[in-house]
Structure 1
């Protein structure tokens, strides 16, 4: 048992590094949004297309990623994803020298492709690495690594460039991106040579479907209503979480707060607080569904307070949105993936495709911001959190 626990601990550590890499790669967008808005003189809606380009890759490559995993396994797919990341980051260099928004969008799309393959690998891997009842606890550890990386990215770029974001020129980003490219290539080598064991969910093999009686009666992944409702919940969740994480610098600039990049820490700190609560309370004191219910209520409260309080105070209530978002991802994955058996990889691909919510909903936020202002644009989050509340109360329980 001790040897098995040691293997799990090593796997958690290695995959935790990968979750950090995911957060860092996505956190780059929160720096690029205000940078491109200033440097290219584009609207907020156009600058948020960077997020749309990144997350649209999940829609296209979510299912192919599951096929690649089935063919070469989780570990080699993780390695492949880091090569894709490096290629995407490399494209940022000619994008900057040519001052081309379309080329920036292409670079973000390629980076998003790497993210799609890595997310398709690490999320189901952590979910089925141990008992399904404690999956949210393992996901909470991963979430801490992931969300702490979001503000590290703009902070790293600011420190290496040596200027505040409003004074940065596109030519200034070359050095930090060379460092990022080299780092992600090293992470690819780490993934390839790491001692990660291949894992499978109960009943995932065709000849062991009797281990999951509910899934054994199914002929298609589309026959799992709790999964399909969970896919929609994840779609909405990723969108509003991306808003809470990626709009802080832009929102701080919009309401004329000094040193806007420093506000990037508000949401990640809130999320880490939520993750720590998940580690302590799940599953010993509360279930994953109860955690999702509590977080939904907190997120709704935070969204409304952002809209209704004075601007200089409202930005701090994004922390409540972030605390609410924190355990949504750790809870949604195991609740939606439960009882899938031999359809686990197919279900995982649908969940990864749902991450495209990070493309659509923040882009809607950007254009709503252009129309009615930055503060009122946070109304976009409220109906999303209300649906997630429904899934916590009822949706995850539905079986056909």
Structure 2
């Protein structure tokens, strides 16, 4: 049973999605700092994304079982408390400059986000009409990625105040940088604890499901769920590659203020979400949005691979008026991947969850587990880049991500059995 959309639930979930974005996209800025503080190579630095996103795979299914017993509202509260603990773990990590402790803190943050995401995404899908679900998720994504734009800029500006560019940090400044990492996460722990109280005493209602004909089915008997999870695996992988490697790639080309470039990718995602809010479902179906996103992503990866590593045509058009400075064309194409990625998540969720009834929590868990793509694919990207010695050409391998998403959009989301039968 779907509840009618109301302003208060949307506002509360919107606040949670802002926190998702702020916490998640801090990683893109954190990576270059930890690379310097902990003396890491590029492959080792990308264990930041691995530790954070692998939590989704390890914890999602157990958390679905918890949600079935506690309900979605209590699950959101639990997720916020776990995230607060994860934020506090950054204190000993930063003071000791021990990379393993940073990874434990990131895994704990990822665990809290796993619970929140497993509860909140189906809530947004099912709180209103299914055909407009992608529009509602786009609104949430707009909030989420706005936080993704702000987080790297605010984090970088604070940490580097009085120090200078991360590339120029001297050895005697490393302890100061490590200590300055503590305060943002203490503040975050306080905010997360406050949000716990907000959700606890809010008017959010539980989602209720009427009985359905699939009560005894395993979630793995639904091809659209399993293949949708794989599509999300590839999507999150390329989303994280676009957002979290752009700084490393810019560093390799000697671009100044490389740690802030994640914000450029997030800015284009914000534009993409605005398109979703305006055009879905009135002018653009969720299926066609997914097809268009896939094709655009393939084209942009070709742009990354074959464009110049100096600033010319497209970069001058996009950035010349802004005062940002010289941005190589290939980096511009990486940032533009945010545009192709924006509507993938909002489009896949409603296609997967339609008419699943009581299987919704487990299907949601499977989709959340697919966020492991953000752990595995960037790490694979880093290893290929290290072995090839050419990060630019490595982006071409990510084309497989969009090809799988394209197949799901065109055919696989319609499958009602593993025999290939499709719904009409």
Conservation of the 8 A alpha-carbon contact between 1:21 and 1:146 = yes
Equivalent residue for 2:317? none
Give a deviation string over 1:289-344, Cα, whole Å, max 9, x none: 11000000011111111111012111111233211110000001111111212211
Conservation of the 8 A alpha-carbon contact between 1:298 and 1:320 = no
More helix by share: 1
Equivalent residue for 2:373? 357
In structure 1, C-alpha distance between the alignment counterparts of 2:260 and 2:94, rounded to whole Å: 24
Equivalent residue for 2:323? none
TM-score, structure 2 as length reference? 0.88
Question: 1:375 is paired with a residue of what secondary structure?
Answer: helix
Equivalent residue for 2:139? 141
Question: 1:42 is paired with a residue of what secondary structure?
Answer: coil
Aligned ranges 1:123-272 → 2 under 5 Å: 123-161=121-159, 162=161, 163=163, 164-166=165-167, 167=169, 169-200=177-208, 204-205=209-210, 208-209=211-212, 215=214, 219-272=217-270
Equivalent residue for 1:346? 362
Equivalent residue for 1:299? 297
In structure 2, C-alpha distance between the alignment counterparts of 1:11 and 1:165, rounded to whole Å: 41
1:98, distance to aligned residue in structure 2 (A): 1.5
1:228, distance to aligned residue in structure 2 (A): 0.8
TM-score, structure 1 as length reference? 0.93
1:25, distance to aligned residue in structure 2 (A): 0.8
Give a deviation string over 1:350-376, Cα, whole Å, max 9, x none: 111111111100111121222222212
Which of residues 68, 81, 97 in structure 1 aligns to 2:95? 97
1:52, distance to aligned residue in structure 2 (A): 0.5
In structure 2, C-alpha distance between the alignment counterparts of 1:153 and 1:374, rounded to whole Å: 25
Equivalent residue for 1:323? 339
User: Structure 1 residues 71-80 or 16-25, which shifts more?
Assistant: 71-80
Equivalent residue for 2:36? 38
1:50, distance to aligned residue in structure 2 (A): 0.9
Runs of 4+ that moved beyond 4 A: none
In structure 1, C-alpha distance between the alignment counterparts of 2:404 and 2:101, rounded to whole Å: 36
Equivalent residue for 2:318? none
1:154, distance to aligned residue in structure 2 (A): 2.1
In structure 2, C-alpha distance between the alignment counterparts of 1:221 and 1:264, rounded to whole Å: 36
Question: 2:26 is paired with a residue of what secondary structure?
Answer: helix
Give a deviation string over 1:24-60, Cα, whole Å, max 9, x none: 1111211221111112111111111111111111111
User: Structure 1 residues 157-166 or 112-121, which shifts more?
Assistant: 157-166
Q: Which runs of 5+ in 1 are unaligned?
A: none
1:159, distance to aligned residue in structure 2 (A): 2.9
Conservation of the 8 A alpha-carbon contact between 2:28 and 2:152 = yes
In structure 2, C-alpha distance between the alignment counterparts of 1:27 and 1:361, rounded to whole Å: 16
Question: 1:368 is paired with a residue of what secondary structure?
Answer: helix
RMSD value over aligned CA atoms?
1.6
In the alignment, structure 1 residue 281 sits paired with structure 2 residue 268: no
Equivalent residue for 2:83? 85
1:183, distance to aligned residue in structure 2 (A): 1.5
Conservation of the 8 A alpha-carbon contact between 2:79 and 2:116 = yes
Count of aligned positions: 386
Conservation of the 8 A alpha-carbon contact between 2:243 and 2:335 = no
Give a deviation string over 1:80-123, Cα, whole Å, max 9, x none: 11111111111111112212111111111111101111110111
In structure 2, C-alpha distance between the alignment counterparts of 1:320 and 1:159, rounded to whole Å: 23
Conservation of the 8 A alpha-carbon contact between 1:301 and 1:320 = no
In structure 1, C-alpha distance between the alignment counterparts of 2:241 and 2:270, rounded to whole Å: 17
Equivalent residue for 1:394? 411
1:280, distance to aligned residue in structure 2 (A): 1.3
Q: Which runs of 5+ in 2 are unaligned?
A: 310-327, 418-424
In structure 1, C-alpha distance between the alignment counterparts of 2:358 and 2:411, rounded to whole Å: 25
Question: 2:74 is paired with a residue of what secondary structure?
Answer: helix
